Structure 1
Amino acid sequence: MSRKNQELNPPKRRKTSKGDVSVQVDKDRLRLYWRFQGKPCFLYLGLPDSKINRSVAQAKAHQITIDLATGNYDPTLEKYLPQSVYSPNKSTIWELYEKFWAWKSKTESITTQRSSGNYRYAIKLVLRYQKVDDLAVSGVSQDFVYGFVKWAKTKISHATLTTYLCLLKAIWDYAKLNPNPWNVTTKAQKLKTPPSPFTLDEVHRIIDAFHNHTTLFFYGDFVEFLLCSGMRIGEVAGLKWNHVREDCTQIWVSECLTKGQTRPAKSNSDRTINLSPRLTNMLLKRRSDYSHLSEYVFLSSRGLAIDSANFRQRWRKVLDSLGITYRKPYLTRKTFISHCLAKGMNPVDIAKMTGHDVAVLFKHYSGVIENLSLPDVF
């Protein structure tokens, strides 16, 4: 290979070692990359790729490397940003987001890849509206936001738009940009009638269909446990054998498994559940047959933890085959609670068992039983 061709084909990027900071080129601009506490970190310098600017970038990379080694690292990145980049109004949306997320990851105990993705989706939608890869923060005005909202209403649901506006507002609030252009409200759409819980007959048919299916039978116990416990899908998927009492009469719910990531259960949802004889016998059999295969109680056909996205596809397939009106798998929770209320169980006990706030349970399920209302105790 000629020397000229060697110059046109730079060597492949070397994997960054732990504690090292590498200089990278992204869209003809220099950025730094490193890992901190297992998470990837980026610092966008806003400098074009040139010999002089690479020297500047290397010096900044050296500073961060030393701080990582000596314990003086600043996770907010404020220490490493030149004033021209740090000034929010002189930054781009992506630069502001990176700084915001570094701060959020440091100050909040729970930050997941999923929540990071939601912020990114919101930003990507804004950039899609403008048909650009990045946008100056100073270019986001009140009029810009009104135009974006009008356009976005034709692209995404009202609920998703409302969520994205809240996320974008949070980023601008962090930067203390006043007035915050994202502080807007959208006209609420007409409320849809909430889906009805599954009937007793439908519950039995769904459980039987999964247990007797030629290829989906391994979901049978998972579906039965969902419908008979009222637990969230992620809670059941994330249930581990070390959270199950030896005699399988009781479980401890403290984690959720979502998109392959384990995270703590929702706020105030940690709880102990005393299982029915039906579920106890199920777990005793599963412990005998499967506990040596995985730490998880319920497994896919490949012996892995159940993936909720894959399960939803199978769920739809079975409901279609039964001629049952499609409702999302999450409705198994509403179904359990509704039937418990219909049998006269104490709502407070149900709330404790399912990890619900009592007031929320009354709000969403008061229509299940006539004259059900919050008691006047004072």
Structure 2
Amino acid sequence: MNTTQTKAAKGTVGVESFRGKLRLRLPRSIETKNRYISTGWQDTPENSKKAQKIAWQIEDDISRGTFDSTLASYKPQHHLTVVQAIKAQPALSLSELWEQYTEYRKPLIAETTLKIQYAAVRNHIAKLPTKTLSDAVQIRDFLVGKLSNDAARRTLTQISACCDWAVDSCLISSNPFHGMAQKIKVVKDETDTIDPFTAEERDIIIKAFEEHSLYSYYVPFVKFLFMTGCRTGEAVGLQWKHISADCRTITFSESVSTQLKIRKDCKTHQSRKFPCNATLQALLLSIKPNACNPEALVFPSKKGGVIRSGHFIDSAWKGRSDRNDGIVTQLVKEGKISRYRTQYNTRHTFITQCLEAGVSVVQVAKWAGNSPEIIMKHYAGITAHVQVPEF
């Protein structure tokens, strides 16, 4: 029990702290059922002054003979006022909760996450037929009906996280979306799975770029993706200041979102050193300008700006069915590679080839900017085929 009090003169009303709250202690000379009057106030200097005023009022009533033995006139009335104020507040809509949640999360997430993922959820919420939390089932059904299962699941996951935060923040009493997202089954899109190119397919793709009249400009960029396994944003944002003068070491410390035109740190928020083998070193030296500006992009677009990954895929890599086939799509049609895979599989190809060559998972993780656990989780099928060496 945590009780603090100051010794009062006989016949006076004392003010004391009990379990962090202030209460009034009545003198023994008074005949009353209760010796204590709870104020419900936190023990603070300001509240102590208010409690002392009530104590003086009681002492004055005792001296005048007008003491209220029921104690009703001495009890603070703030409890009723607070309850009425809470009841009077209108319920927050899902839109209002999402805006408050976004403001709370803003310092904790990357700018790209805020402007892409959170903005997408905000747009989905704006289109809902109802934004009342009690209509959670109707909201779920609307999202499932309008979006793909994957998008509906991701949106409901974010909305549920928002409501969990709102519960913790005492804005709502419970999360009506709890568990909804997990019940939506998502069929994995094969184009998004880890599906590396073989070494032969890699070489065929590079050769096709070299021989293409329009897209040969991208040959160094494509080779670099295959030879480093870096993320696309890291490659398009790479500047000469990130590469040592002799081109033997690359420091991956920044990435560019071409969609938002934002330069940021790497996905893991940690820079990493990448050692160049002789082939990669020769590639970088071959494209390095004589008067090299450290701030210049290593792989600029044809117009000198940042390569827009979406444009590169829609033109050179995959193409668009309403315009023309990209190089990889054409190679699939010609039977030169087995199936179409996204440009991001250049990263998976590098990691897979390293593992198949017997490079340790820890080392591959350092080069790729991942944790060993992530490499083991996503490339377990590859590591399972690595042979135990003879000792």
- TM-score, scaled to structure 2: 0.64
The structure number with the bigger radius of gyration is: 2
Q: 1:148 aligns with which of 139, 149, 164?
A: 139
Q: Distance in 2 between matches of 1:309 and 1:222?
A: 15
Contact 2:317/2:328 (8 A) holds in 1: yes
Measured in 1, the distance between the counterparts of 2:211 and 2:268 equals 37
In structure 2, the partner of 1:356 is 370
SS in 2 for 1:153: helix
Q: 1:175: Cα distance to partner?
A: 2.9
**Structure 1 stretches of at least 4 aligned residues deviating more than 6 Å after TM superposition:** none
Alignment of 1:196 onto 2:175: no
- The one-letter amino acid of 2:328's match is L
Q: CA deviation at 1:303?
A: 0.7
- 2:183 corresponds to which of 175, 186, 189: 186
Aligned residue identity for 2:241? N
Cα 1:351/1:211, change in 2 over 3 Å? same
Q: Deviations over 1:215-256 (max 9, x none)?
A: 112211111100111111111111111111111100111111
- Please state how far the C-alpha of 1:339 moved relative to its aligned partner: 1.2
Kindly indicate whether the alpha-carbon contact (under 8 Å) linking 1:88 and 1:96 is maintained by their aligned counterparts in 2.
no
What residue is the counterpart of 1:319 in the other structure? 328
Report the alpha carbon displacement of residue 301 of structure 1 after superposing the two structures with TM.
Answer: 0.9
Partner of 1:267: 268
* Alpha-carbon distance in structure 1 between the residues aligned to 2:296 and 2:286: 15
CA distance 1:179–1:290, change in 2 (3 Å): farther
Judged with a 3 Å threshold, the aligned counterparts in structure 2 of structure 1 residues 189 and 103 are, in CA distance, closer, same or farther, namely closer
| C-alpha distance in 2 between matches for 1:149 and 1:216 | 45
Aligned-residue offset at 1:273: 0.4
Q: Higher mean Cα deviation, 207-216 or 350-359?
A: 207-216
Distance 1:273 1:89, change over 3 A: farther
Q: 1:113 to 1:358 in 2, by over 3 A?
A: closer
Find out whether 1:166 has 2:180 as its counterpart: no
Change (3 A) 1:250 1:169: same
Letter in 1 for 2:173: N
d(CA) in 1 for partners of 2:285, 2:235: 16
Contact persistence 2:150–2:186 (CA under 8 A): no
Aligned-residue identity in percent: 27
Matched, 1:111 2:110: yes
Query: What is the CA deviation profile of residues 11-58 of structure 1, one whole-angstrom value per residue up to 9, with x for unaligned ones?
Result: xxxxxxxxxxxxxxxxxxxxxxxxxxxxxxxxxxxxxxxxxxxxxxxx
* 1:104 and 1:111 in contact (8 A); partners too: no
Matched, 1:213 2:209: no
Matches within 5 A, 1:2-151: 90-105=91-106, 107-108=107-108, 110-130=109-129, 136=131, 139-141=132-134, 144-151=135-142
CA contact (8 A) 2:355 2:386 kept: no
Give 1:154 deviation, angstroms: 3.8
Separation in 1, partners of 2:359, 2:227: 15
Residues 198-223 of structure 1 show CA distances to partners (whole Å, capped at 9, x for unaligned) of 11111011112222221112211111
Aligned-partner Cα distance in 2 for 1:89–1:332: 53
Evaluate the alpha carbon distance shift between residue 150 and residue 265 of structure 1 in structure 2; reply closer, same or farther with a 3 A threshold. Answer: same
* Structure 1 unaligned residues grouped into runs of 5+: 1-83, 374-378
* SS of aligned partner of 2:219: helix
1:267 positional shift:
2.1
The offset of 1:268, in angstroms, is: 5.5
Q: Is the 8 A contact 2:209 2:219 kept in 1?
A: yes
Return the letter of the residue paired with 2:184: K
Q: How big is the shift at 1:111?
A: 3.2
The alpha-carbon deviation at position 114 of structure 1 amounts to 4.4
Report the 3-state secondary structure (helix = DSSP H, G, I; strand = E; otherwise coil) of the residue aligned with 2:289.
helix
AA of the residue aligned to 2:330: S
Seen in structure 2, the aligned counterparts of structure 1 residues 372 and 188 have a Cα distance that, compared at 3 Å, is farther
Which residue does the alignment assign to 2:301? 300
Kindly provide the amino acid, as one letter, of the partner of residue 222 in structure 2.
V
Residues 249, 274 of structure 1: 8 Å contact kept? yes
Task: Give the number of aligned pairs.
Answer: 278
Equivalent residue number for residue 25 of structure 1: none
The 1:192–1:312 alpha-carbon spacing in structure 2 relative to 1, beyond 3 Å, is closer
> Aligned to 2:210, what secondary structure does the other structure show?
helix
**Is the CA contact 2:153–2:184 (under 8 Å) kept in the aligned structure 1?**
no
Q: Distance in 2 between matches of 1:201 and 1:89?
A: 65
